[in-house]
Amino acid sequence: MSTFISVPETREAVYRGRPLTILASIWEKDGEGGHHRYQSGHIPTAHFCDPAAALTGLPGSKDGRNPLPKLSDVQRSLRFWGVRAGIPTVTYDQGHGLFAGRAWWVLRWAGVRDVQLLDGGLRAWHDSGAPVVGGPGNIAVHSDVTATTGNMPTATIDDVRSHEGVLIDVRQPNRFAGRREILDLKAGHIPGAINVPVDDLFTKDRLVKSPEEIRARFAQAGIEDTSDVIMYSGSGNHSALAIAALEHAGMRIPAHFVGGWSQWSADSRNPVERGD
């Protein structure tokens, strides 16, 4: 199964009634957390996924802005959505891919195998002329999936401190260099990290680039083997999407430092590096 699925493939599956679980991973700054946006128009049969409630734990300086959720909370969400073994799950968001990528990574981390991202998200769905539906969505059927750990490589902050391999920061260059920071306590990056922005792995329309283009971008940064790589971003969203792009390119999935810069920068003992 490929990591990304196109709008035509998804539309064909939906309108032919093929078994498919679709998750609308929508987040907004308003108090409803994106649920109003979901109700106003979503892909037919899609269930609402609130990233802040379903895909993260409690934020704090110790673990970062978007730490890993409790496994019990993921299990509850799987039941709510009706995720089933042998039935593909497709995640999408408004089109930037960050929350769809987070959903893809968390589900894979929890042991859900057949997960794909809708390439281009809801924006690409709209651009294709495919219709959306409004309202509260469908009632989910039962889920037979048990959430487990150890299904995706992760790295703790201590792992990062002792890491002797490659450390990749996938944030935008201005945040990596410390020229701009509006989300976290300090500006800069973890010493020794190299910058491969996740935006470089996608087109301007937020469609994933070809495997050849993605491999070439990492080769440009001197990376052809990702077996000893730890990847991070601000708090695990951009890096989750970058990991999906790596898998799409046929490269080994790196360890994910989910706490990212938000966790690292919150500890005054940790050194900070600035500049390109």
List, as one string, the DSSP characters of 91-118: EE-SSS-HHHHHHHHHHHHTT--SEEEE
Tokens linked to 90: 């497709």
Fold match flag (4-127 vs 157-265): yes
More confident residue, 140 or 167: 167
Inform me whether the pLDDT recorded for 125 exceeds 80: yes
Confidence of residue 48 (pLDDT cuts 50, 70, 90): very high
Q: What is the pLDDT of residue 259?
A: 97
Q: What is the pLDDT of residue 205?
A: 95
DSSP string, 128-181: TT---B-SS-PPP----PPP-S-SS-B--HHHHHH--SEEEE-S-HHHHHTS--
Confidence of residue 185 (pLDDT cuts 50, 70, 90): confident
Cα–Cα distance, 198 to 196 (Å, whole number): 6
**Measured in whole angstroms, how far is the alpha carbon of residue 35 from the centre of its chain?**
19
Which CATH code of 3.40.50.2300, 3.90.950.20, 3.40.250.10, 3.40.50.1100 fits the domain covering 4-127? 3.40.250.10
For the domain made up of 157-265, give the CATH fold. Answer: Oxidized Rhodanese; domain 1 (3.40.250)
Residue 227 is given by DSSP the state T
Nearest to 270 by CA among 172, 179, 186, 174: 186
Inform me whether the pLDDT recorded for 168 exceeds 90: yes
Confidence of residue 30 (pLDDT cuts 50, 70, 90): low
Cα–Cα distance, 263 to 60 (Å, whole number): 8
Residue 117's alpha-carbon distances to 9, 12, 76, 102, 213, in angstroms, are 12, 16, 21, 10, 19
203-228 pLDDT tens trace: 999 999 999 999 999 999 999 999 99
Q: What phi, psi does 116 have (nearest 5°)? A: -135, 155
Q: What is the pLDDT of residue 140?
A: 76
Does the global pTM surpass 0.75?
Answer: yes
Cα–Cα distance, 55 to 258 (Å, whole number): 12
What are the sequence ranges of the domains in the chain?
4-127, 157-265
